[in-house]
Amino acid sequence: MTLTFSTASLSEQISTHLAQQIITGHLAPEEKINEAYWSRQLNVSTNSLREALKILESKHLVEIKPRRGTWVCGVSQDQAEQLYDFLFMLFAELAARAAVHWQANELEELAVILPELADCYAKNDIARGHQIVFETLPNMLKFARNDYLAKTIVDFVPLLQRYSYLALVEETSELHVTVTTFQNLLSSVMERNSQQASEIILQYGKSQCQVVLRALEKRELNKKEE
């Protein structure tokens, strides 16, 4: 495989590709990343690959151990609980700000994805539904009206993608929950009901976290039985 031309740097393209491998579980938790294999697979230099791994480490997806190599970070119930508690507080604030500050034409992108998500649910296309949600998220950060809030969310999004993919795979009905949540959120934001928008996001986060915890518990049980 050769990475295609993009406005992103080569190391960013590599990190995006490997992040997707981690998020979807093709690179398993605590698996060592074979640098020689991925350099050949992506047709890139070892130096470019290592720059990409540094980006992934900053996104909490890998751990680089000096002179030993790079490992995919593990997943745990404790980390999941802390991540969802922290990030969904930020998302709730973002939703509230959207309700207060949105202007004409700023909600169109959110409205457009609703039929796309519904179609993914009808086709049981979990991977595409997951992708649509996280492709849309960067465009929603404009409502933060705060660079620090936006950057903090961006830094933790790949880790959230990893756990949320677990939730969708474990319980495919979660995609329907996501569609319903976005519909209710859009209504609240359009009505400029900041409190309701915030509560919708917090409730969604709690629900998602419980699905993730069940998925992780199931994973641990399966490990013990092997």
Tens of pLDDT, residues 106-147 = 888 778 888 888 888 888 887 788 888 888 888 889 898 999
Is 3 part of a structural domain of the chain?
no
| Residues 54, 130 within the same domain | no
Confirm if 35 and 70 have CB atoms less than 8 A apart: yes
Interval 70-103: pLDDT, tens: 999 999 999 999 999 999 999 999 999 999 999 8
Is 81 part of a structural domain of the chain?
yes
| Residues 112, 189 within the same domain | yes
Q: What is the pLDDT of residue 148?
A: 94
Amino acid at 118: A
145 φ/ψ sector (left φ>0, alpha ψ -120 to 50, else beta): left
| Residues 40, 103 within the same domain | no
How many distinct structural domains can be found in the chain? 2
Is 221 part of a structural domain of the chain?
yes
| Residues 34, 92 within the same domain | no
Q: Output the CA–CA distances (angstroms, integers) from residue 35 to 68, 103, 178, in the order listed.
A: 12, 47, 36
CA atoms of 10 and 19, how far apart (whole Å) = 14
Instruction: Tell me: pLDDT of 226 over 80.
Output: no
Is 2 part of a structural domain of the chain?
no
Mapping DSSP to helix (H, G, I), strand (E, B) and coil, where does residue 76 land? coil
| Residues 63, 90 within the same domain | no
Instruction: Tell me: pLDDT of 5 over 50.
Output: no
What's the full length of the chain, in residues?
226
| Residues 34, 85 within the same domain | no
Is 124 part of a structural domain of the chain?
yes
User: Residue written as tokens 């507080």?
Assistant: 89
Amino acid at 167: A
CA atoms of 198 and 182, how far apart (whole Å) = 12
Its pTM stands at 0.84
Interval 148-185: pLDDT, tens: 999 999 999 999 999 988 877 777 677 788 889 989 99
| Residues 64, 107 within the same domain | no
Amino acid at 168: L
Instruction: Tell me: pLDDT of 19 over 90.
Output: yes
| Residues 84, 191 within the same domain | yes
Instruction: Tell me: pLDDT of 195 over 70.
Output: yes
25 φ/ψ sector (left φ>0, alpha ψ -120 to 50, else beta): left
Give the CATH number, domain containing residue 19: 1.10.10.10
Q: Which of 33, 54, 72 is the last residue of a domain?
A: 72
| Residues 111, 177 within the same domain | yes
Report the run of H or E that residue 121 belongs to, with start and end. helix 108-122
Confirm if 71 and 41 have CB atoms less than 8 A apart: no
SS3 for 98-154 is: HHHHCCCCCCHHHHHHHHHHHHHHHCCCHHHHHHHHHHHHHHHHHHHCCHHHHHHHH
Q: Which residue range(s) make up the domain with 16? A: 10-72
Is 4 part of a structural domain of the chain?
no
Residue with the bigger pLDDT between 125 and 203: it is: 203
Amino acid at 221: L
Report the b/e string of 128-152 with b at 16+ CB within 10 A.
ebbbbbeebbeebbebbeeeebbee
Q: Which of 51, 72, 93 is the last residue of a domain?
A: 72
Q: Which of 56, 72, 88 is the last residue of a domain?
A: 72
User: 126-140 vs 108-122: helix axis angle to the nearest 10?
Assistant: 170
Is 50 part of a structural domain of the chain?
yes
Is 169 part of a structural domain of the chain?
yes
Both tokens of 146, joined, read 């705060």
| Residues 100, 62 within the same domain | no
Q: Are strands 62-65 and 69-72 parallel, antiparallel or unpaired?
A: antiparallel
| Residues 81, 39 within the same domain | no
Interval 205-221: pLDDT, tens: 999 999 999 989 887 78
Across 5-9, 38-42, 54-58, least confident range: 5-9
| Residues 52, 88 within the same domain | no
